[in-house]
Structure 1
């Protein structure tokens, strides 16, 4: 849609409020609602003077806080009924952020959506017209999460802290003979064990009917206690990032309406699988998939595609600061739970950081690479931008990834890994931030040094708070020392 079509739709559909959406530097969704009668053509020309940037984490100081929200009419969508218990009809529009006048030079450098836009413009330097992205979004839906006595107990009241998770599917729940799923036994169960099939289908229906987001598949995932996965049909870079924000928010909203809680925290349950966001990527020049090479007998992957893979693998440790941005992320990146911990690529090999799907050959449309490292706490705009820039760096510098690894990487000896030149991912958020500090040149032209410094500073503080907080596990282990 353009702005005129949006204004006409608002009138014809009797839209009461428009929710203007944007995200902070960590991908957290923010919203301001404005009555439809207060929106006019000028709103799309000069933007909305509605943002106090000093109140958004990681944005601006209080003495330079005025910013403009510029609505993107192409992102206009009518919202599902779950968004308003008052039965009003609402719509949403994503906004770009501007610092002062509305022109390309004034685009705010800490606007995640703007960073993704800027990264996508780098494609033209290599004759590539667009990229397609297809994330697999994993998450948990619990009946409740109880944190007691408070999330700050250990540091503020010295009273200790802990948490409990309740789910009809959990093996520790009472009265759940027909719904219990043991640890690591939740892959594709049928009803009645799968208690969330109806919930996922409701989400998928709303995603398609309201947001126009097409779904490849939905299913229960490997973990117990309501681990789910929704796979999105591929789309171009910015459209897909917007879609991921919408999907995550709708899941949370619909779970809340059902008195449940949805979480994209990667590893909430000890001893069980965690949630990932495997991200499929392909490069295109008009209608030609430049990752595809029919004559390549190994992977039917072009040399450009191999260089793209090489770029991502060469920057994998630094990328973790963006693709796996929480302290909890590194409780997922451990051996034994189907998460990648080794930096290599393979064909149909889910033990590698990068997998090139090989279901069938001679399929140009579906030739792609899947990066299996990210988790759903990542800011999708930054994730896409960083992966793209790493891949393009690989193409520019002809970084060859070597031969694909055919073995189960989890079972390779240390000696074999050295022979195959297989590195390891960071084991902590601090490790990934340290890697980013020493390997950020490939990002700086788009992300800017200012953004990377602010992002890293806030994340280092997050890690420090985590590292200094005693946990229930530590107390039980060391109290009698």
Structure 2
């Protein structure tokens, strides 16, 4: 809901809806919503930035404990009454420091790139496919799908197990539609306990807001039913992981025309998009390794970006820096409907503000410099050996978080987009995460080596 009224008018509007508390919610480095609950009686103070936060208490809000606090400044164009708790309203918020936008705020980082697109007369439209798991805790301290029937070797699109989970999934879809997201399909995915919801695209900032809110909402609705939602990219080595495919296009700011649609331009490679889209693709490919660190941001993410690792015969995840038509083995896919570009490397654990900011910056660079992505790949890229791919001049995506962070740190675009403070914070945090993983002694190691020699 958008409110263009006084603080008193806003308070009355919220009270009429039964709202008692407001949340000016910003995100940390992970894209997890943070904030304070404010009684609606104090809403006038909150919308002026009264709620202050010590960034040093959070992951990736780079501040020293001696710095002034950052303030959450609500976006009054996107106010949402929380469907699982209608006494609470969420205001997506930017962080400010000393009265000015805080450079290292994730939402501000995306807004800077949105402004760069606007300077070119462009609007960045984005749709994100939300894949996630619904589990319950098991008696042995582990976890399992909610439905006892969810044991098929190939459970994808199975209506029986989707039906078993409808108390949660159905409530989630109804909540999404109550907010005007327009869910047009949802299904059981390729792993046991895995689901996907697909809903209408919007501008990039609005879609990033929706994704971070979706994760909060799905978790709270699942909790009501004695379950939990997991946004871990790959909970099982033998099942597919959860992507968050970015479906991207650029529109003319004045007319709203989709400039990737071949009705509005020439298609030089026959994949169903315009020349501008190919330049956009080329920019993303140039910076793909750095982008990977942001759209696949965890140690676990790279166990999804492999050729094999699913009982269904495919991981359905990209391995190489390449593009093509309706071919799911490319990092960048142009669906058969055309008019958009899908990035398949992104996973559901990403911070969508940071991920879409870096992708947009790379794509705009490709457009400004009229970059050429080369010829598209319509074949199954999984069938090539690594040596064959190298001979074709195609690079591999990073194979682990360490490689991805090194690529991110080495790419000047990363620092340019993130700003000095967030760039340094992101690199340090992720390198520490990678080191912690390497120094941990896992059950796999104990089982393999403890009595091996």
Question: For residues 153-181 of structure 1, what are the alpha-carbon distances to aligned partners after superposition, in whole Å with 9 as ceiling and x for unaligned?
Answer: xxxxxxxxxxx322254xxxxxx4xx142
Query: Any residues of structure 2 matched to 1:77-476 within 5 Å, and which?
Result: 77-80=80-83, 82-83=84-85, 89-101=87-99, 106-128=100-122, 130-144=123-137, 164-169=142-147, 176=148, 179-183=149-153, 185-192=154-161, 194-209=163-178, 211-224=179-192, 226-285=193-252, 286-294=255-263, 295-296=266-267, 298-336=270-308, 337-359=315-337, 367-439=339-411, 441-476=412-447
- Relative distance call for 1:221 and 1:93 in structure 2 (3 A) is same
- Secondary structure at 2:173 match in 1: helix
Asked if the contact 1:6–1:73 (Cα under 8 Å) also holds between the matched residues in 2, the reply is: no
Corresponding position: 1:75 with 2:78:
yes
> C-alpha displacement at 1:307, in angstroms?
0.7
Separation in 2 of the partners of 1:193 and 1:135?
Answer: 21
* Aligned equivalent of 2:312: none
Say whether the 8 Å CA contact 1:345–1:404 is kept in structure 2. yes
Distance in 1 between residues matched to 2:285 and 2:210, nearest whole Å? 26
Write out per-residue CA displacement over residues 316-353 of structure 1, whole angstroms, 9 at most, x where no aligned residue. Answer: 11111101110000111111211110110111000111
> More displaced, 58-67 or 23-32?
58-67
CA distance in 1, matches of 2:162, 2:111: 43
- Whether the 8 Å contact between 1:344 and 1:405 is mirrored in structure 2 is yes
Q: Distance in 1 between matches of 2:97 and 2:323?
A: 41
CA 1:147/1:23 → structure 2, altered by over 3 Å: closer, same or farther?
farther
Q: Do the aligned partners of 2:232 and 2:349 also contact (CA within 8 Å) in 1?
A: yes
Match of 1:159 in 2: none
- CA deviations 1:197-241 (Å, max 9, x no partner) are 3421210101121x22221211100011x1011112100011111
Contact 1:340 1:373 in 2 (8 A): yes
Counterpart of 1:56 in structure 2 is 58
Deviating more after overlay: 303-312 vs 190-199: 190-199
- SS of 1:109's partner is coil
SS of the residue aligned with 2:31?
Answer: coil
Residue 161 of structure 1 corresponds to which residue in structure 2?
none
Q: Distance in 2 between matches of 1:146 and 1:275?
A: 25
Aligned counterparts of 1:145 and 1:100: Cα–Cα separation in 2: 49
- TM-score, scaled to structure 1: 0.86
Secondary structure of 1:143's aligned partner:
strand
CA deviation profile, 1:5-58 (whole Å, cap 9, x unmatched): 533412432421112211012211113101111122x543x3114322232222
Retained in 2: the 8 A contact 1:180–1:193?
Answer: no
- Contact 1:308–1:395 (CA<8 Å) still a contact in 2? yes
**Displacement after TM superposition at 1:301 (Å):** 1.8
- Paired with 1:145 and 1:109, the residues of 2 have a C-alpha distance of 44
**Paired position in structure 2 for 1:153:** none
Once the two structures are overlaid, the 10-residue window that deviates more, 16-25 or 1-10, is 1-10
> What is the SS of the residue equivalent to 1:75?
coil
Note the residue ranges of structure 2 that are not aligned, 5 or more in a row. Answer: 309-314
Provide the rounded CA distance (Å) in 1 between the counterparts of 2:409 and 2:245. 25
**2:20 aligned with 1:16:** yes
Of stretches 56-65 and 114-123 in structure 1, the one that deviates more from structure 2 is 56-65
RMSD, aligned CA: 1.9
Contact 2:262–2:339 at 8 Å: present in 1 too? Answer: no
Q: Hey, what's the Cα distance between the residues in 2 that align with 1:450 and 1:20?
A: 23
SS at 1:142's partner residue? Answer: strand
Deviations 1:39-81 (A, max 9, x none): 22x543x31143222322222221114221211111211122x
- Shift in Å at residue 193 of structure 1? 6.8
> Quick one: distance in 2 between partners of 1:8 and 1:419?
66
TM-score, normalised to structure 2, is 0.92
> Contact conserved, 1:197 with 1:220, CA < 8 A, in 2?
no
